[in-house]
């Protein structure tokens, strides 16, 4: 079954606790939290301090997407704050293999993310080590951007690669996913769909989840 991970970036931060409760009650699978540093991406969001509060507000798995330079410096802090998944960017690391192992040793599940221009073969020697690959379907930095169609081919290629290697790696897709393209993304091979504006701009989260489930089945 396709999993849905709303991205809190598009939630109303003035009413964060209420937003989180309503998101959980809508029946989502995990909560996606975007961490931006103003260097790796041209935007700044939140740090471990806020993630710690989010952890107290929900039992949902916290899927922390680090769009920051030198993520090694902060991984431990995010895990202590309650992150279940830590995803780092391929483009941000010199020693990706070491970082991935470090995330796992620290007790979290590890993910690696690829920007739209980074080819799938970059994962050749790391796929065995990770629990999740996050394919960016927009250039990271902001919510509300348009889905880049080329991501679909990357998802199918990755699905094939995972199958050929006989691995059990989750494929997450992030950026520009809405009710009208969710099924296409899932059919290309995604396991987890991140939805920011597509989720939080809808009036009724429960109803949106119902509609989404129906699109996958119909
Ligand atoms: C973009 C973030 C996404 C973002 C997605 O850099 O990684 O998680 O919140 O938002 P939408 O779904 O609006 O594209
Ligand atoms: Zn994200």
Give 62's strand partners.
Answer: 31
Point out the catalytic residue in the list 84, 174, 180, 204.
174
Within the chain, strands assigned E span 3-6, 31-36, 62-67, 85-89, 109-114, 132-136, 170-174, 192-195
Other C-beta atoms closer than 10 Å to the C-beta of 34 total: 24
The pTM of the full predicted model, rounded to 2 decimals, is 0.98
Q: Which numbered atom of ligand 1 lies nearest the CA of 32? A: 8
Q: Known catalytic residue: 34? A: yes
Looking at residue 218, its pLDDT comes to 74
- Mean pLDDT for 53-74 is 98
Ramachandran sector of residue 69 (left: φ over 0; alpha: ψ -120 to 50; beta: rest): beta
CA atoms within 13 A on the CB side of 195: 30
* Average confidence score pLDDT of the chain: 98
Q: Looking at residues 50-55, what average pLDDT do you find?
A: 98
Is 90 exceeded by the pLDDT of residue 65?
yes
Cα 207 from Cα 146, distance rounded (Å) = 23
Residue 36 has a pLDDT of 98
The burial class, CB within 10 Å (0-12 / 13-18 / 19+), for 54 is buried
Closest CA to 141 of 5, 38, 50: 38
Radius of gyration over every alpha carbon of the chain, rounded to an integer in angstroms: 16
- Is 141's C-beta closer than 6 angstroms to any atom of ligand 1? yes
CB 140 less than 6 A from any atom of ligand 1: yes
Ligand 2 centroid vs 97 CA: distance in angstroms? Answer: 21
pLDDT tens digits along 90-105: 999 999 999 999 999 9
Ligand 2 is an ion; residues with CB less than 5 A from it: 34, 65, 174
- Structure confidence by residue, pLDDT tens digits, 129-161: 999 999 999 999 999 999 999 999 999 999 999
The confidence score (pLDDT) of residue 29 equals 98
Any atom of ligand 1 within 6 Å of the Cβ of 6: no
Instruction: Please report the pLDDT score of residue 206 as a whole number.
Output: 98
- 77 CA distance to ligand 1 middle (Å): 23
For residue 40, the ligand closest to its alpha carbon is 1
Residue range 171-185, pLDDT digits in tens: 999 999 999 999 999
The C-alpha angle with vertex 40 and arms to 194 and 142, in degrees rounded to 5, equals 40
């Amino acid at each position: 079954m396709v999993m849905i991970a709303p991205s809190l970036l598009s939630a109303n931060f003035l009413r964060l606790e209420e937003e989180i409760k309503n998101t959980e009650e809508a029946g989502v699978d995990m909560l996606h939290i975007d961490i931006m540093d103003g260097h790796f991406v041209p935007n700044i969001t939140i740090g471990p301090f806020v993630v710690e509060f989010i952890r107290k507000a929900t039992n949902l798995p916290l899927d922390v997407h680090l769009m920051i330079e030198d993520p090694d410096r902060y991984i431990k802090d995010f895990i202590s704050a309650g992150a279940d998944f830590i995803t780092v960017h391929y483009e941000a690391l010199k020693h990706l293999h070491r970082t991935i192992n470090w995330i796992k040793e620290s007790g979290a599940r590890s993910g690696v993310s690829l920007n739209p221009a980074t080819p799938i073969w970059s994962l050749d020697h790391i796929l065995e080590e990770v629990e999740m690959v996050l394919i960016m379907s927009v250039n990271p930095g902001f919510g509300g951007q348009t889905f880049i169609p080329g991501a679909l081919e990357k998802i199918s290629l990755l699905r094939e690669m995972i199958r050929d290697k006989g691995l059990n790696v989750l494929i997450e897709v992030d950026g520009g996913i809405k009710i009208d393209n969710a099924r296409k993304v899932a059919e290309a091979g995604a396991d987890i769909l991140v939805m920011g504006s597509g989720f939080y701009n809808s009036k009724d989260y429960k109803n949106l989840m119902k509609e989404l489930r129906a699109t996958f089945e119909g």
